[in-house]
């Protein structure tokens, strides 16, 4: 309401309080990109954040290939089309845990309290951080394929198939990172986020078809592997990279990613506004 004041014979009018302005979609995108640029700068000034996505695919590819290659496929060359997509999915999904731990660390430092006071879209600090992490996923994907090709992996899907497989993994990792972002908002310590996330991902990645064929497992485990979303993603990556085939597993993976974002993104933002 407008209040009229009288002082020393001078009539003055108090400016009405401004109501919060509505943030448009275009502004939300700009704010998100600005926050993503902040995240990329953090990576630039702290390159040790890339340690897991640079070292892990190299070590895991060599280790799993030469340990399991002869036992499962008869020789290393025959095992590479099986293990490279599996290592790729495991590395990128595991790397998405960092999103939740870094988010928790920023909240503990009070950084997100400052963001809440700014006239920016509420989702931009979260979506920007997750978007910046896609740089990490891209690095992990590139290194995994490069190491595999150096070891003799020849994807029959060609360049297009490999690029589509890489894009699919990055998109799915982005969606999964919203789950860990919610955990980062809910939990009180970064170490708790990391520990709980590993407890969730460990059975999902190893109880899948990422490293060994599902038909070698007990019947009850095969039932879990067949409905495991990681198995669908690994199969989709194999079809794209090894065959250049866009099959039903790609559709299921993209649909699952869309559902996760649709549910987790609003829930994470709401929880963040309440607790940050």
Mean pLDDT of 116-138: 82
pLDDT at 53 over 90: no
pLDDT at position 200 is 84
Tell me if 268 sits within 8 A of 122, measured CB to CB: no
Number of other residues whose CB lies within 10 A of the CB of residue 122? 17
d(CA 212, CA 155): 19
- Rounded CA separation 195/69 (Å): 30
Q: Provide the mean pLDDT of the chain.
A: 82
C-alpha distances (whole Å) from 58 to each of 51, 64, 116, 170 are: 11, 10, 40, 18
Minimum mean pLDDT range among 5-14, 55-64, 77-86, 89-98: 5-14
| Inter-residue contact 42 to 33 (CB < 8 Å) | no
Average confidence (pLDDT) over 243-248: 87
> What distances in angstroms separate CA 194 from CA 144, 224, 267, one per listed residue?
23, 24, 20
Q: Is the pTM of this model over 0.85?
A: no
Split at pLDDT 50, 70, 90, the class of 7 is: very low
pLDDT at 47 over 90: no
pLDDT band at 78 (very low <50, low <70, confident <90, very high): confident
Mean pLDDT of 3-7: 45
Q: Which pLDDT does position 12 carry in this prediction?
A: 43
Check pLDDT > 90 for residue 238: yes
**Per-residue confidence (pLDDT) for residue 74, from 0 to 100:** 79
110 token code pair: 């009070």
pLDDT band at 276 (very low <50, low <70, confident <90, very high): low
Question: Helix H segments across the chain?
Answer: 25-45, 51-73, 76-95, 97-109, 111-117, 124-150, 158-186, 190-206, 219-227, 229-238, 248-275
Instruction: Tell which residue, 144, 138, 132, has the closest CA to residue 55.
Output: 144
């Amino acid at each position: 309401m407008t209040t009229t004041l009288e002082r020393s014979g001078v009539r003055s009018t108090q400016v009405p309080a401004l109501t919060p302005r509505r943030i448009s979609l275009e502004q939300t995108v700009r704010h998100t990109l600005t926050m993503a640029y902040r995240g990329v700068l953090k990576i630039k000034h702290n390159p040790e954040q890339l340690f897991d996505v640079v070292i892990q695919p190299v070590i895991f590819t060599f280790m799993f290939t030469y340990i399991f290659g002869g036992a499962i496929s008869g020789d290393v060359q025959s095992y590479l089309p099986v293990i490279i997509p599996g290592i790729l999915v495991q590395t990128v999904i595991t790397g998405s845990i960092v999103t939740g731990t870094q988010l928790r660390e920023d909240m503990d430092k009070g950084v997100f309290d400052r963001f809440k006071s700014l006239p920016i879209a509420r989702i931009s600090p979260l979506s920007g951080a997750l978007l910046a992490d896609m740089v990490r996923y891209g690095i992990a994907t590139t290194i995994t394929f490069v190491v595999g090709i150096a070891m003799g992996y020849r994807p029959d899907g060609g360049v297009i198939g490999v690029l589509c497989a890489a894009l699919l993994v990055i998109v799915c990792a982005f969606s999964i990172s919203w789950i860990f972002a919610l955990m980062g908002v809910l939990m009180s310590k970064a170490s708790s986020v990391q520990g709980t996330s590993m407890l969730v991902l460990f059975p999902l990645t190893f109880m899948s078809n990422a490293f060994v064929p599902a038909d070698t497992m007990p019947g009850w485990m095969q039932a879990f592997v067949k409905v495991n979303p990681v198995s669908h993603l690994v199969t989709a990556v194999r079809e794209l990279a090894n065959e250049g085939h866009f099959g039903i597993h790609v559709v299921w993976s993209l649909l699952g990613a869309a559902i996760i974002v649709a549910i987790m993104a609003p829930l994470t933002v709401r929880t963040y506004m309440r607790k940050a």
